[in-house]
Structure 1
Amino acid sequence: MSQIIGIVILIIVLALLVSNVRIVPQAHANVIERLGRYKATWDAGLHLKVPFIERVVKNISLKEQVFDFPPQPVITKDNVTMQIDSVVFCKVFDPQLYTYGVENPLAGLQNLSATTLRSIIGEMELDATLTSREQINAKMQAVLDEATDAWGIKVTRVEIKNIQPPREIEEVMTKQMRAERERRQTVLEAQAHQEAVVSRAEGDKKAKILAAEAEKEAQIALAEGRAKSIELVYEAEAAGVKMLNESKVSEGVLKLKGLEALKDVADGRATKIFMPSDISSTIANLGLAGEALGIGDYTPVDKAPNPNVDTTADPCIHSDTGKGGIEASVTTRSINHEVTTKSASEAAKTDIRSPRLK
């Protein structure tokens, strides 16, 4: 009988031992009380508590937790009521404070977040509220983190999830957004047109510059060609003069060339002729030269006036000696002067028409 009692007692002791063995998982902590007072905080691992004296008050997770609070009505500085919901990221850094610091940490954090959000938004206008989310997040995080230190909670991050303004404000914002986009479109079109005009002007400028350069090169080439041709002409004339000087042309040839020049002068197209003062001796010398060369006979012409020419009929015939020559002016009428020369072998009549002069 005593053996049975011993076995029962052993079984009871083993059951008590097994029931008082605690295994705390990773990233968790257990708060232990002994006789109703805080005794210790167990971290991850194997632990054994005293039965009937110690008890586990709370199993606390040390992981970072996310609390998504419902939208809260807030009023801006310019009296616009909006619905704003926030998300709070936090974790427990002191299990003892978390257990004994506040009765309901989650409810306390939610209410503290709502009151802090109303306080911050109440100091800002609508436009600033919509465009300053980062500032709101930073302010809320600083306030919540400082307030929850006594609860053993560390607020790591706060985010404004959604901002819902009234319907009237949304309509106004929609119109403003549409106007802003139209303005941007107009500005972009103006900039595109400006860039196109500038590009076109630059293209025209480059084209004109290229055309001017081409024209300049063409003018330079023409000028060089003209200068080269003039140089060649002058060189040819100089060579011709040099050859004439070296050939020692006789006086008869020179007089013959003078006769040919007088023939070209008296071709009937000139309006005014300047003849040398010694024209009579020149004609005589040319006649002698021509006879010497065998191209004609020379017979002196009588100085008596030609009966075929009526000098009194036209008062416009006059002479002016001076400046080493005689200027003969004749009206548009044609004057035929016939000079007859006779030679020993044959007689020929030569009609010499004086040039038609004005």
Structure 2
Amino acid sequence: MPAILIISVLFIAILVLLISCIKIVPQSMVFVVERLGSYYQTWENGLHFKVPFLDHIAKKVSLKEQVVDFKPQPVITRDNVTMQIDSVVFYQITDAKLFTYGVERPISAIENLTATTLRNIIGELELDHTLTSRDVINTKITTTLDTATDKWGIKVNRVELKNILPPAEIQDAMEKQMKAERQRRESILRAEGQKRSQVLIAEGEKEAAILKAEAEKQSAILKADAVREAKIREADGEATAILKVQQAYADSLKMLNEAAPTDKVLTLKSFEALAKVADGQSTKLIIPSDMQSLAGLAASVKEIVTDKKTEETK
């Protein structure tokens, strides 16, 4: 009975040991395996079996891109201004073996290398250039770190300067300068706005004057056209009236000629014409030369009137 128990215990222990030696490497991870204390191989994602008592997983390495934020570092510019600059490094492990055995505490090594490189680059720049050249500084640091960390199995994708903090007195001077610059720009914009407003007002007044002059011109043209039209119509009316009077006179002469008037009738018509002339505003009176005397004219008129009455009674 004790022998069976011991065998059972040993079987269970061996089974548990074998199960514990079965390793599954997840996606985006690799395991660095040592055998008898020396590097053996790098396990990629999938199922693996570790030899009991011989194999040892030295390091589990993530292949994902990682971000490390380093604390601010004091740096001195070319014009002897001390600033605090903190940086962010984006890196990725490309060789797990080199990362494991290449350098002790690789993240600390990257931090120190970043600080040293940053001091070297900033030391060649003046303050103003440092504040306006972040992209240039980022590119230089990235290139330097990527070259230096390649032998550690690390690829530095990019480095970003997070904050650049100059001394307090310089910050105050910069704020005053920025305030003065904003006020200057505000004054320029205000002046440009006033100028534009004056230009728009002048253009509006000019347009109004042009429209007024055009309206007055059109009004004068219309008035002149109306006067001309009235005169034309008045002239047409007078011409028509004259034509009608002349036509009536011509018709009366025609009728008179057709009626074959006697000398007495002609004499009466002459007298009527003379009476009309006398009633006018003329200061001169012209007597026909064929009338020998007023007495003879009166006798003729009397005789004509008598004849007309006799005809009417008949």
- Asked whether the two chains share a fold, i.e. TM above 0.5, the reply is yes
Q: 2:287 matched to 1:285?
A: yes
- Structure 1 residues 260 and 152, CA gap change in structure 2 (3 angstroms): same
Alignment-derived partner of residue 120 in structure 2: 119
Q: Alignment partner of 1:46: what SS?
A: strand
Aligned to 1:274: none
Distance across 2 between alignment mates of 1:253 and 1:174? 115
Instruction: Determine the C-alpha separation between the residues in 2 that align with 1:226 and 1:207.
Output: 28
1:160 aligns to 2:181 (yes or no): no
Secondary structure class of the residue paired with 1:123: coil
Q: Greater shift after overlay, 126-135 or 109-118?
A: 126-135
Match of 1:40 in 2: 41
Distance in 2 separating the partners of 1:252 and 1:223: 44
- Counterpart of 2:281 in structure 1 is 260
Q: How does 1:7-18 map to 2 (within 5 A)?
A: 7=8, 9-18=10-19
Q: Distance in 2 between matches of 1:235 and 1:261?
A: 27
Cross-structure match for 2:216: 215
SS at match of 2:52: coil
Partners of 1:73 and 1:89 in 2: CA distance: 21
The more displaced of 107-116 and 198-207 is: 198-207
SS in 1 for 2:114: helix
SS at match of 1:103: coil
Q: Gaps spanning 5+ residues in structure 1: where? A: 263-281, 293-358
Structure 1 residues 284 and 43: alpha-carbon distance in aligned structure 2, compared to 1, 3 A threshold: closer
Aligned residue in 1 for 2:297: none
Q: CA 1:284/1:213 → structure 2, altered by over 3 Å: closer, same or farther?
A: closer
Q: Verify: 1:245 aligned to 2:267, yes or no.
A: no
Which one has a larger percent helix, Structure 1 or Structure 2?
Answer: 2
Q: Cα distance, 1:78 vs. partner?
A: 2.5
Q: Give the 3-state SS of the residue equivalent to 1:87 in structure 2.
A: strand
Q: Name the counterpart of 1:107.
A: 108
After superposition, give the CA deviation of every residue in 1:178-228 in whole Å (9 maximum; x if it has no partner): 111101111111121122112212221221122122111211111011101
Offset from partner CA, 1:100-152 (integer Å, 9 cap, x none): 11112011100111112122222322222222222322222222122211111
Amino acid at match of 2:172: E
Aligned residues with identical type, % of pairs: 49
SS of equivalent residue, structure 2 residue 31: strand
**What is the root-mean-square deviation of aligned Cα atoms in Å?**
2.7
Q: 2:277–2:285: 8 Å Cα contact kept in structure 1?
A: no
The CA distance in 1 between the partners of 2:171 and 2:6, in whole Å, is 82
Question: In 2 relative to 1, CA 244–31 (structure 1 residues): closer, same or farther, beyond 3 Å?
Answer: same
2:278–2:285 Cα contact (<8 Å) kept: no
- The one-letter amino acid paired with 2:216 is E
Q: Give the whole-Å Cα distance in 1 for the aligned partners of 2:22 and 2:95.
A: 23
Structure possessing the higher relative contact order (Cα contacts under 8 Å, 6 or more residues apart): 2
2 CA distance for matches of 1:253 and 1:142? 132
- TM-score if structure 2 supplies the norm length? 0.76
After superposition, what is the alpha-carbon deviation per residue over 1:216-249, rounded to whole angstroms, capped at 9, x for unaligned?
1211111011101211232233234334434269
Is the alpha carbon distance of 1:231 and 1:2 closer, same or farther for their aligned partners in structure 2, counting shifts above 3 Å? closer
Q: Between Structure 1 and Structure 2, which shows a larger proportion of strand residues?
A: 1
Q: Secondary structure at the match of 1:260?
A: coil
Query: Closer, same or farther in 2 for the Cα pair 1:21/1:232, shift >3 Å?
Result: closer
Report what 1:300 is aligned to.
Answer: none
Q: What is the TM-score with the length of structure 1 in the denominator?
A: 0.68
Counterpart residue number, 2:52: 51
Deviation digits for residues 41-92 of structure 1 (CA, Å, limit 9, x no counterpart): 1123332222222211112222222111111111223322110000111121
The answer to whether the Cα contact below 8 Å between 2:93 and 2:154 also exists between their aligned partners in 1 is yes
Residue 148 (str. 1) matches residue 149 (str. 2): yes
Describe the shift of the 1:2–1:229 C-alpha distance in structure 2 as closer, same or farther (beyond 3 A).
Answer: closer
What is the rounded CA distance, in whole Å, between the counterparts of 2:181 and 2:282 in structure 1? Answer: 94
- 74-83 vs 184-193, greater mean Cα deviation: 74-83
Given the alignment of the two structures, is residue 98 of structure 1 paired with residue 99 of structure 2, yes or no? Answer: yes
Decide whether the 8 Å contact of 2:25 with 2:47 is kept in 1. yes
Mapped pair 1:190 → 2:187 = no
Residue 11 (structure 1) shift: 4.1
The residue identity in structure 2 corresponding to 1:256 is A
